[in-house]
Amino acid sequence: MAKLNFLAALRDAMAEEMRRDADVFVMGEDLRQNLYGSSAGLLDEFGPVRVRDVPLAEAGVIGTAIGAAMVGMRPVVDITISPFLYPACDQIISIAAKSRYIYGGQTSVPIVLRASLFYNAGSAAQHSDRPYQFFLGVPGLKIVVPSDAASAKGLLKTAIRDDDPVLFFEDFNLWSTSVRCDHDDEADRTVPLGRAAVKREGADVTVVAVAASVGLSMKAAEKLGQEGISVEVIDPQTIQPLDEETIFRSVRKTGRIVAVDPAHRTGSFAGEVLARVTETAFASLKAAPRRVCTPDTHIPFAPVMEKGLYPSVESIVDAIRETVA
């Protein structure tokens, strides 16, 4: 079996969908130069009409893409670093998310906004945000946060085919990672939105994690398994729609839950998971739920100060031990 790199998986997903559907095109900063590694060969194969470089004007770029989507195209916009979504919030929230509703279903906005989570990289306060949870309270948006190359490819293909706007968040810490897979099997494999993946089965505690925190949680589960603590690890894959039932079913089995999320603690996706579990499966809980998140502070530039802020194998292990104590 060959290895599939995370960035190559994204490139393959876009290329395959562009071959499948002539209405799919990509646009973003420095795509033609393949600056970030996920657009290699697209310009040569599909030409400048379907591979478009854009200026530093996020509101205008996303507004243009929304207009194209409304008339039948399927744009995939690489917005580069996720905080660059902020200048375009009016377009995303007021237009992309609401248009199907306010026009009574007469239009749809099949647009994908790709945005990297550029944290743990010395990028300082303005470029290090993990803002997927910021958009959770916006009806009409679908939000994808993959945890490895295989799921990223399948989820991106599904997102491109979806008729609703999709925010697709890509964890920078996964860019250099690879997974083993059969490329023939991967060629047209899609991953449904709204279906979680149980990455590891367990009996003592449920861990729900997103993005690179899934891999950290798997390492924590492996370590605790040597101590006789059986950990079930769930990767939601999409946080909107959220596969609640898989989470509830696991909590009813284990009686404990830890949510791991590299976003800030207040208003986090982790907090939303714990709220829903408490509302629906409270009677099954044997211990108080725990969150492992980033403290509510801006991200410093100094790597030595930044590194300890995010979830780690050690902090996940500590939280799990607290729940089973």
Write the pLDDT tens digit of every residue in 42-61. 999 999 999 999 999 999 99
CA 191/CA 159 separation, integer angstroms: 9
Q: Mark which of 158, 186, 214 sits at the end of a domain.
A: 186
Mean pLDDT, residues 278-289 taken together: 98
Specify the pTM: 0.96
Tokens at residue 106, please?
């007469």
Residue 158 sits in a domain whose CATH number is 3.40.50.970
User: What's the structural domain count of the chain?
Assistant: 2
In terms of residue numbers, what domain contains 220?
197-324
Six-digit token pair at 223?
């370590």
* 268: CATH: 3.40.50.920
Among positive and negative, which fits the CA dihedral 240, 241, 243, 244?
positive
Same domain, 180 and 317: no
Q: Among 137, 136, 115, which Cα is nearest to 127's?
A: 115
Mean pLDDT of 7-35: 96
Answer yes or no: is pLDDT of 280 > 90: yes
Same domain, 11 and 36: yes
Decide which of 166, 186, 206 is a domain's last residue. 186
Residue 323 has pLDDT above 60, yes or no: yes
Whether 111 shows a pLDDT value over 80: the answer reads yes
- Name residue, tokens 């194209």: 68
The structure tokens listed for 224 are 């605790």
Q: Are 271 and 134 contained in the same domain? A: no
Q: What is the pLDDT of residue 180?
A: 87
Q: Are residues 97 and 158 in the same domain?
A: yes
145 and 285 within one domain: no
3-class secondary structure, 57: coil
Are 8 and 39 in the same domain?
yes
- Domain's final residue, options 186, 208, 233: 186
Q: How big is the chain, counted in residues? A: 325
* Residue 144: closest CA among 120, 112, 122, 119: 112
Active site residues: 127
